[in-house]
Amino acid sequence: GENVGLHLPTLSVQEGDNSIINCAYSNSASDYFIWYKQESGKGPQFIIDIRSNMDKRQGQRVTVLLNKTVKHLSLQIAATQPGDSAVYFCAERTQAGTALIFGKGTTLSVSS
């Protein structure tokens, strides 16, 4: 079956450090991956996405890396700020028009 999970439930970093949040997926048929950020009391908010024909995509302070060989996805946040503190989810989609399958989430705590 499909399974998207995260390696660590929590990650604590100092302000200014770079953060790396990892995710493993099991469905090699998935064609699209996405990272969401969820702040307390709010809905998930889009961060960055990547298609399966790419291995890297960069946004503002964030980079997503996709390694299809080992079915691994990571989110890198540069110069982490206290406002980055949230729960981060990776998700995959197996075909267009279908729902996302979410991993369990990593809680990122940034201390100043």
Partner 1 sequence: DTAVSQTPKYLVTQMGNDKSIKCEQNLGHDTMYWYKQDSKKFLKIMFSYNNKELIINETVPNRFSPKSPDKAHLNLHINSLELGDSAVYFCASSRDDRPTYEQYFGPGTRLTVT
Where do contacts with partner 1 occur on this chain (CB under 8 A)?
31-32, 34, 36, 38, 41-46, 49, 51, 87, 89, 91, 96-102, 104-105
Cβ neighbours for 33, distance < 8 A, ≥ 6 positions apart: 25, 49, 50, 51, 52, 64, 66, 73, 90, 91, 92, 93
CB closer to partner 1 out of 55 and 79: 55
C-alpha closest to that of 74 among 40, 41, 48: 48
Quote the least distance from Cβ 55 to partner 1, whole Å: 15
* CB of 28 or CB of 40, closer to partner 1: 40
Give the nearest distance from C-beta 46 to partner 1 in angstroms: 4
Nearer CB in complex with partner 1: 2/16: 2
Q: How near is the Cβ of 16 to partner 1 at its closest, in Å?
A: 27
Going through 1-112 in order, the beta strands assigned E by DSSP cover 4-6, 10-14, 19-25, 32-38, 45-51, 56-58, 62-67, 72-77, 86-93, 101-102, 106-111
Nearest to partner 1 of 15, 94 (CB atom): 94
